[in-house]
Amino acid sequence: MSDYYGYWEKELYSAVVEMTINNLDLYFALLKRQTNDFPCAIVEILLRGSEIVLDPDAPTVVEGCLTIVKNIIEGSKKFIRHLRYVY
């Protein structure tokens, strides 16, 4: 029975890894695309006196992008082994 569980555990793990890689590839393709169908982020540029202000600012946009990547990767960590140390 351990061979059975070991086989399906490897199959499920491979599927989770493939799904994670595909999601990251799709996200990076979305960020790199050259079309203007819809924006990846909406940024307002304001002129206050002699100063140009971005809302949201660049670090906030980068933080949002990194949060999406972290969430994709963290989602793959929810893979739970059926029986530990069974091969």
- pTM (predicted TM-score): 0.69
In DSSP notation, 47-84 reads EETTEEEEES-HHHHHHHHHHHHHHHHHHHTT---SST
Mean pLDDT within 65-69:
92
pLDDT of residue 84 exceeding 70, the answer is no
Question: Residue 76's pLDDT is what?
Answer: 85
Question: Residue 68's pLDDT is what?
Answer: 92
Question: Residue 23's pLDDT is what?
Answer: 93
Angle between helices 58-76 and 2-32 (to 10 degrees): 160
Domain layout of the chain by residue ranges: 2-76
